Chains A and B, each alone.
Chain A
Amino acid sequence: MKLNRKTRFTRSSSWVNFLYFAVIMCTVMFCMHPFVLIITGAAALIYSAYLKGITQLRSNLIISVSVFLITLLLNILFNHQGVTVLFYMNQHPITLESVYFGLSAGLMLADMLIIFSIFNYIMTSDKIIILFHKLPVLSLLFTMALRLVPRYKIVAKQISQAQSGIGQGIQQGNIFDRIRHFSSIVSALVTYALENGIETANSMVSRGYGLSHRNNYFKVRWTDQDKKELLGMCLLLVGFIPAFAFGGLSIQFFPTWQLQPLTMLQILGLAAYALFCLLPWLLDIREEKLWLLSKGKN
């Protein structure tokens, strides 16, 4: 199991994490305004670099940039909407609007990729389970799956090795033998899984599964810090939702590219949004400062 570095935001309640990702993912998906995309991307990059270090960031960036470039290229080549023709290629018009749209769409996908890499890092399996806690059966199913997958992986490897130890491996014999060996290994694994399922079910019954009034236990607490963080996020949300709400930050690509000038409300909204995006990073570095200070006192 990969052990991730613990920071303030990874310690926050799953609901705080979830709210953060839900808001920025939705924003990026539904708003293609260049400022929004740039703010989100920059914040995600900063936080990703902070969490995972420069080496990891570089490999993330390579993927994001290539996705960005491919999206841009595809749009330029195959999207012929728009009125401002730059030049013709094989009698197909290449338009300025499609360049703008490609830039935005590419940026959006690149942003999404970086956000997902952070999401993966923060939202570990036990954080996701907590989100399901109102659905006890689903959350139990999820934990059981997480228990079974690594176990069956090990058994699959053991079976395959044991079979090759008696000349029945996937790499042994002619092509027909190999197919036969492979299918018996799969069937052995299925038998094993079924038999073990029965054993596990017995163990569950023996330990009282199926009694009424089952109560889901989670090893987390709802702390004051979580409440403060949630409150802060909600305040920022209130700050920037009006800026987005009345079409102020909408953008038109076709037939002509039109970006409306920003009003004061929208500038403030964007600032609040930027703060929201940077919140995990700010919380983390604040936590580090506090820790150093508290150690410094002694």
Chain B
Amino acid sequence: MAFIQGKKLNFAYPHSNNVIKNITFNIDKGSFTIVLGPSGSGKSTLLKQLKPSVTPYGHSTGILLYEEKPLTQMSLREQTEKIAYVSQDIDAQLVTDKVWHELAFTLENLGLSKDVIERRIAEMTAFFGMTQWLDKDVSCLSGGEKQRLVLASALMSQPELLLLDEPVSQLDPVIARELVDLLSRVNRELGITVVISEHQLDLLLEVASHCVVLENGRCLYSGEISGMLELIGQEHTLFSYLPEQTRLSSLCFHMKNVVTVNKAKTLLDASVIPCGVLENKTRITSSPVLMNLSHLWFRYERQLPDLLWDLSFQLKQGDFTVLLGANGSGKSTLLNLIAGVEKPDRGKHLIRGSVGYLPQNPITLFTKNTVLEELKVFDKPIDNIINRLQLTNLLYRHPYDLSGGEMHLVALGKVLLTDPDLLLLDEPTKGMDVSLKSLTGRVLKAFNQNGGTIMMATHDLSFAAANGELGTMLFNGNILPVLPLKRLLSENYFYTTNTARITRDKIKGAVLFEDAISYIQKHQ
């Protein structure tokens, strides 16, 4: 007996075409299922069908069964008890001001007694390791702690099914890893069925058991992961969505079902391919200094320790520098200081030229009702930007209705319209799928080749490796010496691409997926 069954499911938002078309799928009880596909393929829409109280308004046809009964007949109380839903926006989901109250919220609504509520809180906080911060204000939590709180609150009603809408791609890798581990534990240890819509598969593929593959609203596949890996070969349009380790093993060793870095590395190390070194050419620029920070100090509040201290740093014209570093190491703060939106406590800040700054949260750049108005703010010709960023289809949408990746793209367009000499980017690829990322990469490279200077803070190391020139890390309130980016990444252990991790012992300096593949195929 299937746990959840969809038969010939269709859904359309009012006054528009079907977003999901004739989808038939199964979700087994106790499975860890990924609903995967490119942006706009209908992943989130399908996920929201699985809990009627969060399904958006629209027209749907077809049959959706939950344990053989139509899901639409399930009462609100039953839905609240059995199905938990976690949306993308972590902050907006937290309703109350205290951690304990957030945990109790669902159970209060269900009208459970104080004893039961306390027992469940005791259990859940122990499971999630959050007993220490029960009395804290929600606004004082870090991003990772908030993510854990959202998940714990969702599980308070002891649901059978946990739905998560793109939880990973909005997070940085460390928090994302933590979340995936937790989800895997929830699935394995508590037996809760987990269904995730996601296009960022790097972390999920190793823990998931099943998947539903969507493309343009149609279902290509529904079943076990291994079957999906068999189906999506190198000719397939979705091949580039698979993690680097999977693609590498498939392309070079014809092993399609490799999901971990370790397995791919073992394959490579055991193969006949000779050891080698890839020379990475770096452009040495002797151009004039564009931006100079000298002996900068900064802290947010008087009592707090210095976040950045005695920091000196230079950017030359035409540089494309990537800034790496842990959460809270001050990357965004440094960009704020360079952009001049935050003033240093001490030190000199010198800049020759104009700055355009794309902050981490692109929503903060939007002030108008459509993308078109948004771009027209500067009274400059916008056709060029629209073409370069392929925004034609988005022009009449409200900025808030865009997907996370599209928001970043429009925000980038808005910043580029200010015609900056120095472009500052804070996590510009957050929420983007593979195709949007490569588009963004092309745009940034073109900007850089036309003499523009870029400084980018990112956790997306494949993207950085493919586009950046120089790299540095922020640690202990200071910037470490700038190196050619590929050299930095090939020497790094953790802050590097999966390709570099796989090829570490065989091919020195192979950071980029394409470089590694061409080396391996040449020597095979």
| A residues adjacent to B (C-beta < 8 A) | 1, 125-126, 140, 143-144, 146-147, 150-151, 154-155, 158-159, 161-169, 184-185, 187-188, 191-192, 195-196, 199-200, 202-217, 219
Contacts and interface: CB of A to CB of B under 8 A. Distances in A.
Contacts of A150: 137, 139
Given A143-B98, A161-B336, A185-B367, A208 B106 contact: yes
B395 to A, nearest CB: 18
Nearest to B361: A158
Given A1-B137, A199-B93, A207 B106 contact: yes
A216 B108 contact: yes
Given A150-B139, A208-B77, A143 B92 contact: no
A195 B400 contact: yes
A130 to B, nearest CB: 12
Contact of A147 (B97, B109, B112): B97
Given A144-B96, A211-B76, A166 B365 contact: yes
Nearest to B418: A166
B364 A155 contact: yes
Given A126-B98, A147-B138, A207 B80 contact: yes
Given A147-B138, A165-B424, A199 B95 contact: no
Contact of A217 (B77, B108, B339, B424): B108
Nearest to A147: B97
Contacts of B54: 202, 205-206
B222 to A, nearest CB: 25
B414 interface: yes
B339 A165 contact: yes
25 contacts: A125-B97, A126-B98, A147-B95, A147-B138, A150-B137, A150-B139, A154-B139, A159-B364, A162-B341, A162-B359, A165-B357, A165-B358, A168-B367, A169-B341, A184-B368, A196-B89, A196-B91, A200-B93, A203-B95, A205-B54, A208-B110, A209-B105, A210-B109, A211-B76, A213-B111
B34 to A, nearest CB: 21
B478 interface: no
A211 B109 contact: yes
Contacts of A143: 95-98, 101
A175 to B, nearest CB: 18
Contacts of A205: 53-54
A208 B139 contact: no
Interface in B360-409: 361, 363-368, 377, 400
B157 interface: yes
* 7 tightest Cβ-Cβ pairs between the two chains A and B: A165-B357, A208-B80, A199-B92, A213-B111, A208-B109, A162-B364, A146-B97
Contacts of B339: 165
A203 B341 contact: no
Contacts of B361: 158, 162
Nearest to B56: A202
B359 A158 contact: yes
Contact of B107 (A163, A168, A210, A217): A217
A196 B110 CA distance: 24
B106 A161 contact: no
Nearest to B54: A206
A158 B411 CA distance: 14
Given A165-B339, A211-B111, A144 B95 contact: yes
A162 to B, nearest CB: 4
A204 B53 CA distance: 10
B43 interface: no
A189 to B, nearest CB: 9
B356 interface: yes
Contact of B109 (A125, A161, A187, A214): A214
A43 to B, nearest CB: 30
Given A165-B357, A165-B424, A192-B363, 20 more contacts: A1-B137, A1-B140, A143-B96, A144-B97, A162-B361, A164-B340, A165-B358, A166-B415, A167-B418, A188-B366, A202-B54, A206-B80, A206-B85, A207-B95, A207-B106, A207-B109, A208-B109, A211-B80, A215-B108, A215-B114
